[in-house]
Amino acid sequence: MLLIKNGRVLDPATKTDSARDLLLDGERIAEIAATGKIAHANGAQVFDATGLIVAPGFIDMHAHLREPGQENSETIETGSHAAARGGFTAICCMPNTKPVNDNASITRFIVDRAKAFGHVRVWPIGAASVASKGEAIADIAAMRDAGIIAVSDDGKPIATAKLARQIMDYCRSLDLPVIEHAEDVSLAAGAVMREGIASTRLGLPGMPAAAESVCVARDVQVAELTGARLHIAHLSAKSSLAQVRFAKQHGIRVTCEVTPHHFTLIDEDVTYDSRFKMNPPLAAREDREALIEGLADSTVDAIATDHAPHEPAIKDVEFDKAPFGILGFETAIGLALEQLVHTNRIPLMRMVELFTTGPARVLGKERKLALGEPADLTIFSLDRSWTYSVSDSASKSRNSPFDGHTFQGGPAATIVAGKIVYKH
Ligand SMILES: [Zn+2]
């Protein structure tokens, strides 16, 4: 048994924001009571959460763990370790491994590796099309039986509207969300950052915001046609957000996520340093402003990191040759506090919702602090000053633009199934 004492418990699902103690018994929550009121905790290990926030376990619904196939960049073990250090209790891994997770045997491999070596829960996402090539629909039902919680061709969009229709039709019958990496590849071809004054100044080829929002518009209409659950990954453009807002107002089942780097940085921050290269690229100032408004007004459903490790040998090269993507797990809470909460743009409860009930709802799951619920908790500080040093990261990769950044507040402890998997 584990007794979490003296914390400020924040739970969007039960609308709790008060001083509470929690008793965890094995893998479940056994009791929640006012501070000092839990009677039968004799012999329990005690965690003193004085001055800390105690929240339901944070979920990161968008990550790349690189196993199988690119274990020099990350493994399920190292990636989930970094996730635990970032305060995440569950992470969803995208299928663009080598080979692609497009069949039940790869899904089972990931599930088994995660059981044996995972520091946190790992929920695989299966490919939407075979090898994510955009030609034939993958064996989604078999992967669902093996443990996937959604499908995506992430890294690229579902190739055509016709295939998107087939996949959404199929996933509607299975009640699985379809996660779209929204990109019109003809508009994005050759680009390495967002098109604008910054790209002109740097002399780097850029893609317009429409490279994303044209695809979002296509998929919103296919979602309306099919009635499927569509989720837009790493939404970065104001024009895409307008499509999602329209869809929600019209009862179309569309949700979306925003990454910490897109609500923190903009195209003007890009230098020739490949740690600023990701897809979708850092957007314009007005896009960032719109994303923060969307995070505040519930147009955005989740914060997701798009944790995308690349080993230095392939990432530390010229900007235009480097692969897209940056690390995300360990800086997510720090950035959300810095950019959203400490600036009074969104309430702390809303931030917790974006990491818990928000992504849970997208995935058709529940997340709450109540008797009998899984003992998954994220405990974090609002004010501890700490400096992120990527050389200390649990990830195998080092590609973070936030190396050396000092944060006010961050993860204090991560508890999965009643076990402390990370403690500051
Ligand atoms: Zn993507």
> Which of these is catalytic: 21, 153, 306, 376?
306
In the prediction, which pLDDT does 196 show?
97
Q: Residue 279 C-alpha to ligand 1 middle, in angstroms?
A: 6
Report the share of the chain in percent with pLDDT over 70: 100
pLDDT tops 90 at residue 289: yes
Token pair of 7, please? 């914390």
Q: Residue 154 C-alpha to ligand 1 middle, in angstroms?
A: 5
pLDDT tens string 328-382? 999 999 999 999 999 999 999 999 999 999 999 999 999 999 999 999 999 999 9
- With vertex at residue 204, the alpha carbon angle to CA 199 and CA 209, rounded to the nearest 5 degrees, is 50
Q: Residue 37 C-alpha to ligand 1 middle, in angstroms?
A: 47
In the prediction, which pLDDT does 327 show?
98
Q: Residue 172 C-alpha to ligand 1 middle, in angstroms?
A: 22
Strands 151-152 and 178-180, bridge-based pairing:
parallel
Q: Residue 345 C-alpha to ligand 1 middle, in angstroms?
A: 26
pLDDT tops 90 at residue 283: yes
Residues with CB under 5 A from ligand 1 (ion): 154, 181
pLDDT tens string 22-58? 999 999 999 999 999 998 888 999 999 999 999 999 9
Q: Residue 249 C-alpha to ligand 1 middle, in angstroms?
A: 25
Q: Residue 91 C-alpha to ligand 1 middle, in angstroms?
A: 15
Among 337, 415, 412, CA closest to 381 = 412
In the prediction, which pLDDT does 372 show?
97
Q: State yes or no: is 306 an active-site residue.
A: yes
- Compute how many other C-beta atoms are within 10 angstroms of the C-beta atom of residue 214: 20
In the prediction, which pLDDT does 39 show?
83
Q: Residue 152 C-alpha to ligand 1 middle, in angstroms?
A: 9
In the prediction, which pLDDT does 102 show?
98
Instruction: Using CB atoms within 10 Å of the CB of residue 382, give its burial: 0 to 12 exposed, 13 to 18 middle, 19+ buried.
Output: middle
In the prediction, which pLDDT does 40 show?
80
Q: Residue 63 C-alpha to ligand 1 middle, in angstroms?
A: 9
pLDDT tops 90 at residue 269: yes
When pLDDT is averaged across residues 180-202 and rounded to a whole number, the result is 98
Q: Residue 54 C-alpha to ligand 1 middle, in angstroms?
A: 31
Q: Residue 30 C-alpha to ligand 1 middle, in angstroms?
A: 39
pLDDT tops 90 at residue 288: yes
